[in-house]
Amino acid sequence: MSLRLKLKQAAAKDLYKLVKKNKSLGRVIINQVLPEIVVNPFQGRMKQGDLSQFRSWDFNFKGSAYRVLYEIEGDLVRIFAIGVHDVSYRKAKSRTGSS
């Protein structure tokens, strides 16, 4: 089964800001992390509580923990937030209307 990847507009802005801040981090996300999510989307950890509809793909870059929060719907992997650990969770909550 071939999956498609879609970044919500806000997640695309997250990615743009990260790339603008650090091109090496952007390359890792674009060339490694996002393709890995598409190939193995169920390896991401299911979240609990307010974010239970999301999976979290965790990765480290130069000593900082980053998260990509996404959901799988049919053949679509929809990215909701990309960022450092706690910030990505706050972003995802605000983007879904969860408090």
pLDDT-derived band at 12, boundaries 50, 70, 90: very high
Using CA atoms, how far apart are residues 10 and 17, in angstroms rounded to an integer?
11
The pLDDT tens digits of the residues spanning 23-33 come to: 999 999 999 99
Q: C-alpha dihedral over 35, 30, 92, 20, to 10 degrees?
A: 180
User: Domain containing 43 — which CATH number?
Assistant: 3.30.2310.20
Host H or E run for residue 46: strand 45-46
Q: 14 lies in which domain range?
A: 4-96
The pLDDT tens digits of the residues spanning 32-82 come to: 999 999 999 999 999 998 889 999 999 999 999 999 999 999 999 999 999
Tally of domains within the chain = 1
State pTM to two decimals: 0.87
